[in-house]
C-alpha cells in the first residue's frame, strides 16, 4: 500500500486551509479501506431515512382494509399470537380514507399534505421482519440482524462510498427526543472501523459534541495553538517517514478546525427564508420539532452528507388509544415530510436523494386494550421516494385484514438490497472480512425490489 | 383436477391447464431479468416453504402420513394414503398441491397455522411443473446423511495439534538475549533483514511504561532516563511487572475479549451495579499472576470448582457479561425461547473465541463452512451451559447458598399462589414476571397483587418442616457478618446452577427455535478431543464438585479446555500467548487473535509460537514469565528507526524494527490525567460516571447517566473504571476506537478521524485537564518559564524539549491572550501526535 506522505508533506508545507481532503484519504492511510467507488452508476447520491419509531399502523395510514370494517368486533379466522397477550377482536380503523393522485393511492384523513405527493411514492405493503420486540426489530431494520453488534446500513454505505464532504460526518442521526430504543446500537459501525458509525446531531445550538471552543480559548489563540502543534507534528513526521497515519492525523486537525464552523453552518436556519420555515411547520407547536429535523436533513444532503436518519419524536407505538396516538403523530410529521419532498423537488435534489419512510414493524388488525393495536412484524408498510424510485407504484399486499404479508413478501434484507442498489452498490459485493467470513449488510439474503425502480 | 386457489388475482373459472399455460408463459426464461427471476432455486425458493410449513410433521422428527418433505426419495414415493406427494413434472398428480389447496378441513395442509400464501403456492406449482429439481446435497444441517463428521485429518490442522517440542535455533550472535531473539533473528536473516538499533533509554522507558502499565513515566523517571547510564531496562521491567497498575492495563485488554459491559443493552438497558466484581477479579488475577489455566477454569465454573474462594466465584461474571434481552411476559413462546437461545449463543460464541480463537458461533445454523465444527458440536456446547443461570448474589458461599435457596423457595410460593387464582393465563404470566411498566402488568397487579403478596413471616410459616429445617441450617451457616466495605461481602453478578437437573436442548434446524430437532446432550468440540470423552471429564468433575446442586457440565468443560494432553489445552495456550504478543508488537504472531481456524492468519513465526506456548505450560501457566521474556528481548527493545528500506518488509512481519502505535482510548485519557497530575490511582470498586454532556446521554433506559456531575477526584480514576453502558457510549472512548461490547473483540482497529481531533481540541474535560496540568507544574514550584516548558514536555511527551521547541513554546506563551498561557502550552502538547504515539 502506497504511503501518501509525500503528497501530504507538500500540502502541509503550503499552509493550512487546504481544501477538503476526503475522509477516505485518512482511512486509506489507516489501511482500513481500499477504495470507495460505487459498483455501478448510482441513481441516488444520498438517503434520508424517516424512521417512524414505535411502528406505525399500515391499515390506519396508507393501507385501509375494508374487511376490518366488515369484521369489526368479530374474532379473526385464525388465532393471532400477540406480544402483550390478551388479543381482542378485529378493530376497524378510526380514520377515513380517500384515494389520491393518478396512482389512486389510499391515504388516511390525517395525512393531507403527503397525499398530494402520492405519485412520487412507491408503497411497499408487504414488509415483514423476524421479531415483535422493539429493540431487536430496530436493530434488524437498521443492521439487518435482530441483535446488537452489527454495522448499520449507514455504516455500510459510508464504508462503501464515503462522503463527499469531509467537514461533516457522512452518517448523521437525528434521534428521537426521548432517545431511540437501543440507542447507538442502531447506528453502530458494528465490526466495521469506528469511522463509519453514525454521529448524533442535535437539532439546535451546537449539533455535534466538542464543536465549541472552551470558554477560555479565543479563536486566534486556538489558531496559534494549532499552528504550534502542526510544527511539532511535521518535525515528528520527518523522523518517521513510513508512518502514514501520522500525516493523516495532521490532516485530521485541519478538518476538525473546519468542522467547527461548517457543522454549525449546516444547522444554522437563519439562512432559510421565512416561507421555507413556515412550509416545514416551524411556526407551529405540533410540527416544529419534526419540521426542524426534516429541514436540517435537506441542508445536510445539500452539503454532501451521504446518509441522514431522522427519528420521529413521538412513539407510534399505540398499544392503546390508537386514534389519538396516530392522529397526533400524523399531524406532527405530515406537513414536514410533504415540505421535505416538495423542497427537494424544487431544488432539483429529489432525483438524487432517496427518501425512505417506515418503522421497525407494523400493527395488528385486532385490538389491544380495547383501543390500540399490538406489534405486528408479519406484515407492514414502508414507502420510498426520490432517486431511482418509480413514483405512484404499489408493491406487495398483506392479507385482507392486514395481518400477514401475502403477495410478494418483502424482507428487511430486500429493503436493504434495494437501498444499496439505488446508491450504486451491489449488496452481494459490498463485504467486509470479519471472523473469517465475508459479511454484508444483507447477510446471505436480499433481493432488489425491481418493480418499484424507475 | 386440482382445485384452484380462489384468492385475489386468479379467477376460479380458469381451468388447470390454462393456469399451467399461464404459469409457463410467465416463468419461461425468456422473461427479462428485470421482471422476476425465472429460474427457481430449490434451496432458496422451495425448501424454505417445506421447512416453514411442513417439516414439523413431515420431517426428521415425525413422518405423518408416512413420508418426509426433507428427503427427496420419500417425497417422490407413495405415502400411506397411496398417493404420491410430489410427482416431478405432473402437478395434477401431486397430492401435496391438492392438499394445500383443499377446502376440506379434514384434508387441508397444513392443518394448523397459516395456509400457504398465493406466492408460495405458485412457486410449488411451477417447481413441480418444471420437474421438481431437488439437488443431492442440500444444506448439511437439513440432511442428516451429509452432516459434517470430524475426521482424523481434521485433527491435523496446525492449531489443533498438541504442542510440539521445539528448540530455539542455535545462532551465534550477541544480539540474542533470550530464545525469542533467536527465533526472530533466524527469520529476519532468512528474509535478508537485520535488526534495528536499540531504542534510546528515553524511548524504551516510555514504551515500557505504556505497554506494561498503560501510564506515562512521571517526570522524575524521565529525567533519570535522560542519562542512559542511570537507566536499567531490566530493573524497570521488574518494577513495572510488579506494579498494581499492570493488572489494570492487561485487564482492559481482556475485557475487550470478554465483551464486558455494566448494563444489559437492548431497549431497557438496565444497569448491572455488581458486574464490576468480574472486572476486579480480572485485575487481581493478572496482578497476582493467577495461572492462566485456573483463570480459564474459574471463569467457566469457579462457582462450583472453588465455591469457597470469592474471586473464583466472581470470575463467572465472564459468562454473564454479554447483552441480555427481555420481552413481555406474554410474548409468543418462540420469542421467549429465542431470547434464551440468544443468551446461550452469546456465552458459547464468546467462550470459544476468547479461549480457543474459534468462531463456534458460525455453527449455530449450519456446519461451520471452514473449520471442522459440525453444528451438532455447537449445540452440545449450548447444552453444556443450558442449566446455568445468571444470579445477582453473594460471593461468600454460605450467604450465597442461603440467598439462592430463599429465592427459589419464595418463587415456589409465588407460583403456588398464582396457580390458586381465578385469573387468565396471560394475567398469570404477568404476575409471575413481577411488577412491570406495561399497562397489562399494572392491571394484573391491581387485580391480584394483594392476593399473591406475602411477607417473610408468612413465607416461613408456609414452609414445610423439611424446608424450615433446611432454612435453619443455611441461616446458621451463613452467620451474618456486619456489612463492611470488604468487596467479598458485596454482591456480584455471577453464574451458577441451582440443581443437578439437566435442561433440555434440541439442535435447531437453521438455528430456528421453531424447528427443534433431536435432543442434544452436553459435549465439546470433536476436533479438539483426543482420547477422552465428555463422560470422562464429567466423571472427573463430579469427583470435585457438589453434584447434588449442579449438573457438573461446566466443570467438565473447564477441565477439557485446560487439558493439555487430551483436550483443548494446547490451543488455549497458543491463543493467550498470541494475545500477549499482539499487545506488545501491534500484531500477533497470528494476526487474527480471535480466529485460529482455517480462515484465520497463519503464524508468522510458528516455531516461536510453539516454544512460547510450551514455555507458558512449563511455567505452570503463569503469564508474567512470558511478559518478562518479551520485555527482556532485543526484539522488543529495537528502535522505531528502520535499517534499510521499507520495501523489504512493508508490514514489519519479521519485526525488524519497532512500529509506533497510537495509544488506545483508555491510555489516551489516562495519559492526559497522569500528565495533569489529576490521576486518581485508586484500584477496584464500583464503576465511575465522569461528566458527559446531556446531548450525549439520550437513552430509553430508566437507569440514566447523572446530569449534575462536577468532576473531581472520584471521576479521575483510570478509564478502565468508566461505567460501560451499552446505550450510552462514552464519547471520548468511542472517539478513540473503543470496541462495541456486544461481541468479543480480539483486535481493535485504530482509525484517524476529525472527531478525535475535535475531542482533544474542545472537550471541556480535556481543557480542564490542561489547566490542571499547568497548575500542577506551578505547584511543584516550577516558576521559571524555561523550566516550565521543560516540565510540560517531560510530563506529556516523555522527553525534554529541544532548543528550537523551547523557543517555539516560549513564543506561544508570550502570544497567549488567555489567563493561563501555560495551560495553552499543555493543551497543545496533549494534541501533538507524539503524545498519542508510542515509539
Whole-number percent of chain B with pLDDT over 70 = 93
CB contact under 8 A, B767 and A404: no
Q: Count other C-beta atoms under 10 Å from residue A227's C-beta.
A: 15
Same domain (yes/no): B303, B434 = no
Whole-number percent of chain B with pLDDT over 90 = 78
CB contact under 8 A, A133 and B809: no
| pLDDT digit string, tens, across residues B401-424 | 999 999 999 999 999 999 999 999
CA–CA dist B595, B371 (Å, integer): 10
Among the candidates B113, B135, B157, a domain finishes at B135
Collect all residues with Cβ–Cβ distance below 8 Å to B98 and sequence separation of at least 6.
Answer: B2, B3
Q: Does A15 touch chain B (CB under 8 A)?
A: no
**How close, in Å, is residue B291 to chain A by CA atoms?**
28
Chain A residues whose beta carbon lies within 8 Å of the beta carbon of residue B728 = 183-184
Q: Which of B424, B751, B754 sits opposite A255 (nearest CB)?
A: B754
Task: Report the DSSP pairing between strands A171-174 and A307-311.
Answer: parallel
Chain A residues whose beta carbon lies within 8 Å of the beta carbon of residue B650 = 1
Beta strands in A132-267 (DSSP E): 171-174, 199-200
Specify if B469 maps to a domain.
yes
Same domain (yes/no): B307, B434 = no
CB contact under 8 A, A131 and B335: yes
CB contact under 8 A, B424 and A86: yes
The verdict on ipTM greater than 0.90 is no
Average pLDDT over residues A211-217: 93
Specify if B580 maps to a domain.
no
Window 18-37 of A, Cβ < 8 Å to B:
23, 26-27, 29-30, 32
Q: Is the pLDDT of residue A244 over 80?
A: no
Name the band, by pLDDT with cuts 50, 70 and 90, for residue A365.
very high
Q: Does A166 touch chain B (CB under 8 A)?
A: yes
Q: Is the pLDDT of residue B708 over 70?
A: yes
Q: How many domains does chain B have?
A: 4
Name the band, by pLDDT with cuts 50, 70 and 90, for residue A25.
low
Lowest mean pLDDT among A80-94, B30-44, B83-97, B400-414: B30-44
Model pLDDT, residue B119: 82
Same domain (yes/no): B364, B472 = no
Q: Which of B430, B756, B819 sits opposite A216 (nearest CB)?
A: B819
- Cα angle B558, B559, B562 (rounded to 5 degrees) comes to 85
Q: Does A437 touch chain B (CB under 8 A)?
A: yes
Residue in A with minimal Cα distance to B34: A450
- How far CA B263 is from CA of B267, B281, B325, B722, in Å, comes to 11, 18, 11, 12
CA–CA dist B454, B449 (Å, integer): 10
Q: Which residue, among A217, A227, A399, A442, would best test binding to B if mutated, counting the most B CBs under 10 Å from its CB?
A: A217
Name the band, by pLDDT with cuts 50, 70 and 90, for residue A246.
confident
Average pLDDT over residues B532-559: 95
Which burial class, exposed, middle or buried, applies to B532 when counting CB atoms under 10 A from its CB (0-12, 13-18, 19+)?
middle
Name the band, by pLDDT with cuts 50, 70 and 90, for residue B41.
confident
Chain A residues whose beta carbon lies within 8 Å of the beta carbon of residue B8 = 397, 407
- How far CA B490 is from CA of B273, B285, B299, B395, B720, in Å, comes to 10, 18, 19, 7, 20
CA–CA dist A225, A246 (Å, integer): 18
Chain B residues whose beta carbon lies within 8 Å of the beta carbon of residue A218 = 817-818
Is the distance from CB of B315 to CB of B719 less than 8 angstroms? no
CA–CA dist B72, B75 (Å, integer): 5
Interface contacts A/B by beta carbons within 8 Å: 282
What are the grid coordinates assigned to A451, written together? 418493480
CB contact under 8 A, B759 and A252: no
Average pLDDT over residues A18-27: 49
CA–CA dist A315, A372 (Å, integer): 13
CA–CA dist A237, A231 (Å, integer): 10
Specify if B250 maps to a domain.
no
| pLDDT digit string, tens, across residues B559-594 | 999 999 999 999 999 999 999 999 999 999 999 999
Average pLDDT over residues A176-185: 87
Name the band, by pLDDT with cuts 50, 70 and 90, for residue B710.
very high
Average pLDDT over residues A109-117: 98
Chain A residues whose beta carbon lies within 8 Å of the beta carbon of residue B594 = 435
**How close, in Å, is residue A310 to chain B by CA atoms?**
15
Name the band, by pLDDT with cuts 50, 70 and 90, for residue A34.
low
User: In chain A, what's the furthest Cα-to-Cα distance?
Assistant: 80
CB contact under 8 A, A407 and B119: yes
Is the distance from CB of A363 to CB of A59 less than 8 angstroms? yes
Q: Which of B439, B599, B698 sits opposite A436 (nearest CB)?
A: B599
Among the candidates B561, B587, B602, a domain finishes at B561
Q: Which residue, among A2, A152, A256, would best test binding to B if mutated, counting the most B CBs under 10 Å from its CB?
A: A256
**What is the overall mean pLDDT for chain B?**
91
CA–CA dist B205, B702 (Å, integer): 46
Chain B residues whose beta carbon lies within 8 Å of the beta carbon of residue A447 = 37
Asked, as a colleague might, if the bond just before B110 is cis with ω within 30 of 0, I would say yes
Model pLDDT, residue B28: 37
Same domain (yes/no): B402, B310 = no
Question: What does chain A come to in residues?
Answer: 454
| pLDDT digit string, tens, across residues B43-52 | 778 887 888 8
CA–CA dist A351, A260 (Å, integer): 30
Specify if B633 maps to a domain.
no
Average pLDDT over residues B132-144: 59
Residue in B with minimal Cα distance to A202: B695
What are the grid coordinates assigned to B360, written together? 463456534
Residue in A with minimal Cα distance to B759: A210
| pLDDT digit string, tens, across residues B751-771 | 888 889 999 999 999 999 999
CA–CA dist B573, B585 (Å, integer): 18
Model pLDDT, residue B136: 63
Instruction: For residue A152, give the nearest of A190, A199, A180, A183 by alpha carbon.
Output: A190
CB contact under 8 A, B726 and A225: no
Instruction: For residue B356, give the nearest of B541, B560, B520 by alpha carbon.
Output: B560
Residue in B with minimal Cα distance to A185: B727
- Cell 397430492, located at residue: B95
CA–CA dist B614, B609 (Å, integer): 9
CB contact under 8 A, A221 and B824: yes
Domain assignment of residue B348, given as a range: 273-391+499-561
Same domain (yes/no): B407, B456 = yes
Window 222-241 of A, Cβ < 8 Å to B:
222, 224-226, 228-229, 231-233, 236-237, 239-240
Q: What is the 3-state secondary structure (H, E, C) of B639-678?
A: CCCCCCCHHHCCCCCCCCCCCCEECCHHHHHHHHHHHCCC
Is the distance from CB of B767 to CB of B753 less than 8 angstroms? no
Average pLDDT over residues A362-391: 96
CB contact under 8 A, A84 and B328: yes
Model pLDDT, residue B85: 94
Whole-number percent of chain A with pLDDT over 70 = 92
Same domain (yes/no): B382, B513 = yes
Same domain (yes/no): B40, B126 = yes
Instruction: For residue A268, give the nearest of A201, A197, A339 by alpha carbon.
Output: A201
CA–CA dist B28, A221 (Å, integer): 73
Collect all residues with Cβ–Cβ distance below 8 Å to B655 and sequence separation of at least 6.
Answer: B184, B188, B585, B635, B638
CB contact under 8 A, B118 and A406: yes
CB contact under 8 A, B767 and A81: no
Residue in B with minimal Cα distance to A187: B727
CA–CA dist B738, B717 (Å, integer): 17
Model pLDDT, residue B39: 61
Residue in B with minimal Cα distance to A83: B331
Residue in B with minimal Cα distance to A257: B758
- Structural domains of chain A sorted by starting position, each given as residue range(s) with its CATH number in brackets: 39-204+306-452 (3.40.720)
Among the candidates B489, B511, B531, a domain finishes at B489
Strand partners, A90: A366
Q: Which of B600, B650, B737 sits opposite A436 (nearest CB)?
A: B600
Specify if B725 maps to a domain.
no
Is the distance from CB of B538 to CB of B550 less than 8 angstroms? no
Lowest mean pLDDT among A73-77, A84-88, B821-825: A84-88
Provide the CB-side half-sphere exposure for B181 (13 A, CA): 20
Model pLDDT, residue B485: 63
Window 167-226 of A, Cβ < 8 Å to B:
169, 175-185, 188-191, 193-195, 197, 199-200, 202, 208-214, 216-218, 220-222, 224-226
Specify if B683 maps to a domain.
no
Lowest mean pLDDT among A6-15, B170-179, B593-602, B752-761: A6-15
Q: Is the pLDDT of residue B489 over 60?
A: yes
Q: Which residue, among A436, A438, A443, would best test binding to B if mutated, counting the most B CBs under 10 Å from its CB?
A: A436
Same domain (yes/no): B96, B55 = yes
Lowest mean pLDDT among B238-247, B481-490, B503-512, B708-717: B481-490
Chain A residues whose beta carbon lies within 8 Å of the beta carbon of residue B809 = 228
Q: Which helix (H) or strand (E) holds B439?
A: helix B439-452
CA–CA dist B67, B82 (Å, integer): 11
Is the distance from CB of B656 to CB of B649 less than 8 angstroms? yes
Q: Which residue, among B115, B725, B753, would best test binding to A if mutated, counting the most A CBs under 10 Å from its CB?
A: B753
Chain A residues whose beta carbon lies within 8 Å of the beta carbon of residue B267 = 133-135, 181-182
Same domain (yes/no): B484, B417 = yes
| pLDDT digit string, tens, across residues B511-530 | 999 999 989 999 999 999 99
Q: Is the pLDDT of residue B173 over 70?
A: yes
CB contact under 8 A, B754 and A166: yes
Specify if B623 maps to a domain.
no
> Could you report how far apart the first and last alpha carbons of chain A are, in Å?
40
Name the band, by pLDDT with cuts 50, 70 and 90, for residue A10.
very low
**How close, in Å, is residue B324 to chain A by CA atoms?**
10
Which span out of A37-41, A76-80, A193-197, B602-606 was modeled with the highest average pLDDT?
Answer: B602-606
Q: Which of A176, A182, A436 sits opposite B595 (nearest CB)?
A: A436
Q: Which helix (H) or strand (E) holds B749?
A: none
Phi-psi region of B109 (alpha: psi -120 to 50; beta: other; left: phi over 0): beta
CB contact under 8 A, A133 and B325: yes
CA–CA dist B737, B716 (Å, integer): 20
Is the distance from CB of B330 to CB of B440 less than 8 angstroms? yes
Q: Count other C-beta atoms under 10 Å from residue A160's C-beta.
A: 26
CB contact under 8 A, A85 and B440: yes
Name the band, by pLDDT with cuts 50, 70 and 90, for residue B677.
very high
Model pLDDT, residue B698: 83
- How far CA A439 is from CA of A36, A332, A442, in Å, comes to 17, 38, 8
Q: Which helix (H) or strand (E) holds A128?
A: strand A121-128
**Residue B506 phi/psi, 5° resolution?**
-115, 145
Q: Where are the alpha helices (DSSP H) in B168-309?
A: 179-190, 201-208, 219-226, 233-241, 244-257, 276-287, 292-305
Model pLDDT, residue A29: 60
R_g of chain A, CA atoms, integer Å: 23
Same domain (yes/no): B507, B369 = yes
Same domain (yes/no): B405, B356 = no
Average pLDDT over residues A16-26: 43
Specify if B523 maps to a domain.
yes
Same domain (yes/no): B452, B342 = no
Average pLDDT over residues B7-18: 40
Amino acid at each position: 500500500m502506497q504511503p501518501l506522505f509525500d503528497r501530504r508533506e507538500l500540502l502541509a508545507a503550503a499552509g493550512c486551509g487546504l481544501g477538503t481532503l476526503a475522509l477516505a484519504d485518512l482511512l486509506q492511510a489507516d489501511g482500513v479501506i481500499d477504495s470507495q467507488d460505487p459498483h455501478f452508476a448510482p441513481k441516488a447520491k444520498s438517503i434520508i431515512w424517516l424512521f417512524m419509531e414505535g411502528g406505525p399502523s399500515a391499515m390506519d395510514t396508507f393501507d385501509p382494509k375494508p374487511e376490518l370494517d366488515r369484521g369489526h368486533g368479530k374474532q379473526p379466522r385464525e388465532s393471532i399470537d400477540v406480544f402483550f397477550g390478551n388479543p381482542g377482536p378485529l378493530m376497524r380503523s378510526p380514520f377515513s380514507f380517500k384515494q389520491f393522485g393518478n396512482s389512486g393511492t389510499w391515504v388516511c384523513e390525517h395525512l393531507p399534505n403527503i397525499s398530494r405527493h402520492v405519485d412520487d411514492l412507491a408503497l411497499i405493503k408487504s414488509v415483514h421482519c423476524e421479531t415483535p420486540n422493539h429493540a431487536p426489530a430496530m436493530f434488524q431494520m437498521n443492521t439487518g440482524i435482530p441483535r446488537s453488534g452489527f454495522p448499520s446500513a449507514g455504516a455500510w454505505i459510508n464504508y462503501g462510498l464515503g462522503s463527499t464532504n469531509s467537514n461533516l460526518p457522512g452518517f448523521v442521526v437525528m434521534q428521537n427526543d426521548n432517545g431511540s430504543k437501543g440507542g447507538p446500537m442502531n447506528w453502530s459501525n458494528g465490526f466495521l472501523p469506528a469511522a463509519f458509525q453514525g454521529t448524533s446531531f442535535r437539532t439546535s445550538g451546537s449539533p455535534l459534541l466538542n464543536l465549541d471552543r472552551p470558554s477560555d480559548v479565543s479563536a486566534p489563540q486556538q489558531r496559534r495553538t494549532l499552528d504550534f502543534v502542526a510544527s511539532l507534528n511535521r518535525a515528528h513526521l520527518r523522523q518517521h517517514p513510513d508512518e502514514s497515519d501520522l500525516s493523516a492525523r495532521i490532516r485530521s486537525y485541519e478538518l476538525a478546525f473546519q468542522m467547527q464552523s461548517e457543522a454549525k453552518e449546516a444547522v444554522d436556519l437563519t439562512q432559510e427564508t421565512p416561507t421555507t420555515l413556515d412550509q416545514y411547520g416551524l411556526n407551529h407547536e405540533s410540527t416544529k420539532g419534526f419540521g426542524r429535523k426534516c429541514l436540517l436533513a435537506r441542508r445536510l444532503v445539500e452539503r454532501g452528507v451521504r446518509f441522514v436518519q431522522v427519528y420521529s419524536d413521538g412513539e407510534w407505538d399505540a398499544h392503546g388509544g390508537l386514534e389519538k396516538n396516530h392522529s397526533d403523530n400524523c399531524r406532527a410529521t405530515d406537513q414536514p415530510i410533504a415540505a421535505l419532498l416538495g423542497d427537494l423537488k424544487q431544488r432539483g435534489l429529489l432525483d438524487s436523494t432517496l427518501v425512505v419512510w417506515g418503522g421497525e414493524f407494523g400493527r395488528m388488525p385486532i385490538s389491544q386494550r380495547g383501543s390500540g393495536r399490538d406489534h405486528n412484524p408479519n406484515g407492514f408498510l414502508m414507502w420510498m421516494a426520490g432517486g431511482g424510485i418509480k413514483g405512484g407504484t404499489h408493491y406487495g399486499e398483506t392479507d385482507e385484514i392486514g395481518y400477514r404479508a401475502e403477495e410478494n413478501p418483502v424482507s428487511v434484507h430486500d429493503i436493504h438490497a434495494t437501498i444499496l442498489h439505488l446508491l450504486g452498490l451491489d449488496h452481494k459485493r459490498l463485504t467486509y472480512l470479519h471472523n473469517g467470513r465475508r459479511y454484508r449488510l444483507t447477510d446471505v439474503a436480499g433481493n432488489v425490489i425491481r418493480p418499484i425502480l424507475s | 383436477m386440482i382445485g384452484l386457489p380462489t384468492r385475489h388475482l386468479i379467477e376460479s373459472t380458469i381451468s388447470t391447464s390454462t393456469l399451467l399455460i399461464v404459469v409457463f408463459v410467465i416463468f419461461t426464461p425468456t422473461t427479462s431479468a428485470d421482471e422476476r427471476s425465472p429460474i427457481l432455486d430449490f434451496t432458496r425458493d422451495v425448501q424454505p416453504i417445506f421447512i416453514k410449513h411442513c417439516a414439523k410433521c413431515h420431517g426428521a422428527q415425525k413422518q405423518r402420513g408416512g413420508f418426509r418433505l426433507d428427503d427427496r426419495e420419500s417425497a417422490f414415493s407413495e405415502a400411506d394414503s397411496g398417493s404420491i406427494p410430489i410427482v416431478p413434472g405432473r402437478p395434477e398428480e401431486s397430492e401435496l398441491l391438492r392438499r394445500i389447496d383443499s377446502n376440506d378441513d379434514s384434508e387441508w395442509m397444513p392443518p394448523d397455522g397459516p395456509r400457504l400464501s398465493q406466492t408460495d403456492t405458485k412457486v410449488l406449482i411451477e417447481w413441480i411443473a418444471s420437474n421438481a429439481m431437488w439437488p443431492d446435497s442440500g444444506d448439511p444441517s437439513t440432511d442428516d446423511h451429509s452432516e459434517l463428521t470430524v475426521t482424523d485429518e481434521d485433527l491435523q490442522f496446525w492449531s489443533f495439534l498438541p504442542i510440539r517440542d521445539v528448540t530455539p535455533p542455535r545462532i551465534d550472535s550477541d544480539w540474542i538475549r533470550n530464545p525469542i531473539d533467536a527465533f526472530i533473528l533466524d527469520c529476519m536473516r532468512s528474509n535478508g533483514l537485520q535488526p534495528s538499533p536499540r531504542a534510546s533509554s528515553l524511548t524504551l522507558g516510555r514504551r515500557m511504561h505504556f505497554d506494561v502499565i498503560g501510564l506515562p513515566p512521571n517526570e522524575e523517571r524521565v529525567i533519570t532516563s535522560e542519562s542512559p547510564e542511570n537507566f536499567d531496562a531490566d530493573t524497570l521491567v521488574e518494577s513495572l511487572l510488579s506494579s498494581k497498575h499492570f493488572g489494570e492495563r492487561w485487564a482492559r485488554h481482556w475485557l475487550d475479549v470478554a465483551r464486558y459491559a455494566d448494563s444489559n443493552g437492548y431497549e431497557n438497558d438496565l444497569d448491572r451495579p455488581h458486574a464490576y466484581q468480574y472486572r476486579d477479579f480480572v485485575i487481581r488475577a493478572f496482578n497476582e499472576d493467577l495461572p492462566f489455566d485456573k483463570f480459564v477454569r474459574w471463569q467457566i465454573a469457579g462457582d462450583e470448582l472453588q465455591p469457597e474462594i470469592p474471586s473464583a466465584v466472581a470470575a463467572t461474571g465472564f459468562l454473564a457479561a454479554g447483552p441480555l434481552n427481555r420481552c413481555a411476559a406474554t410474548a409468543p413462546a418462540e420469542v421467549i425461547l429465542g431470547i434464551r437461545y440468544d443468551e446461550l449463543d452469546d456465552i458459547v460464541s464468546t467462550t470459544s473465541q476468547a479461549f480457543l480463537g474459534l468462531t463456534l458461533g458460525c455453527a449455530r445454523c449450519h456446519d461451520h463452512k471452514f473449520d471442522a465444527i459440525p453444528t451438532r458440536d455447537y449445540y452440545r456446547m449450548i447444552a453444556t451451559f443450558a442449566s446455568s443461570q445468571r444470579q445477582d448474589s453473594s460471593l461468600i458461599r454460605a450467604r450465597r447458598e442461603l440467598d439462592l435457596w430463599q429465592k427459589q423457595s419464595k418463587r415456589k410460593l409465588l407460583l403456588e399462589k398464582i396457580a390458586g387464582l381465578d385469573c387468565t393465563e396471560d394475567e398469570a404470566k404477568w404476575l409471575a414476571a413481577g411488577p412491570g411498566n406495561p399497562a397489562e402488568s399494572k392491571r394484573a397487579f391491581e387485580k391480584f397483587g394483594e392476593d399473591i403478596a406475602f411477607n417473610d413471616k408468612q413465607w416461613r410459616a408456609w414452609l414445610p418442616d423439611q424446608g424450615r429445617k433446611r432454612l435453619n441450617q443455611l441461616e446458621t451457616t451463613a452467620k451474618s457478618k456486619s456489612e463492611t466495605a470488604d468487596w467479598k461481602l458485596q454482591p456480584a453478578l455471577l453464574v451458577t446452577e441451582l440443581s443437578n437437573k439437566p435442561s433440555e436442548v434440541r439442535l435447531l434446524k437453521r438455528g430456528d427455535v421453531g424447528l427443534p430437532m433431536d435432543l442434544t446432550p452436553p459435549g465439546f468440540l470433536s476436533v479438539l478431543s483426543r482420547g477422552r470423552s465428555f463422560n470422562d471429564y464429567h466423571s472427573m468433575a463430579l469427583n470435585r464438585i457438589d453434584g447434588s446442586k449442579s449438573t457438573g457440565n461446566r466443570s467438565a468443560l473447564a477441565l477439557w479446555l485446560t487439558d493439555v494432553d487430551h483436550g483443548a489445552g494446547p490451543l488455549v495456550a497458543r491463543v493467550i500467548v498470541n494475545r500477549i504478543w499482539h499487545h506488545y508488537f501491534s500484531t500477533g504472531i497470528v494476526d487474527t487473535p480471535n480466529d485460529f481456524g482455517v480462515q484465520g492468519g497463519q503464524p508468522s513465526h510458528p516455531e516461536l509460537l510453539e516454544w512460547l506456548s510450551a514455555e507458558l505450560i512449563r511455567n505452570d501457566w503463569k503469564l508474567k514469565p512470558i511478559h518478562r521474556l518479551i520485555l527482556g528481548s532485543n526484539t522488543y527493545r529495537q528502535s522505531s528507526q528502520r535499517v534499510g528500506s521499507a520495501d523489504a518488509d512493508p508490514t514489519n512481519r519479521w519485526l525488524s524494527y519497532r512500529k509506533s502505535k497510537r495509544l488506545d482510548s483508555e491510555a489516551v485519557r489516562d495519559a492526559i490525567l497522569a500528565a495533569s497530575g489529576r490521576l486518581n490511582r485508586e484500584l477496584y470498586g464500583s464503576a465511575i460516571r465522569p461528566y458527559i454532556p446531556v446531548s450525549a446521554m439520550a437513552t430509553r433506559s430508566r437507569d440514566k447517566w447523572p446530569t449534575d456531575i462536577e468532576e473531581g477526584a472520584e471521576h479521575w480514576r483510570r478509564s478502565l473504571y468508566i461505567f460501560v453502558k451499552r446505550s450510552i457510549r462514552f464519547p471520548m472512548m468511542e472517539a478513540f476506537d473503543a470496541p462495541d461490547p456486544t461481541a468479543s473483540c480480539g483486535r481493535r482497529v485504530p482509525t484517524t478521524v476529525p472527531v478525535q481531533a475535535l475531542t482533544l481540541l474542545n472537550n471541556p474535560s480535556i481543557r480542564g485537564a490542561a489547566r490542571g496540568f499547568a497548575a500542577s507544574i506551578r505547584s511543584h514550584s516550577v516558576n521559571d518559564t524555561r523550566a516550565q516548558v521543560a516540565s510540560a514536555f517531560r510530563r506529556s511527551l516523555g522527553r525534554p524539549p529541544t532548543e528550537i521547541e523551547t523557543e517555539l513554546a516560549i513564543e506561544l506563551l508570550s502570544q497567549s491572550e488567555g489567563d493561563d498561557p501555560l495551560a495553552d502550552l499543555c493543551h497543545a502538547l496533549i494534541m501533538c501526535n507524539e503524545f498519542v504515539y508510542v515509539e
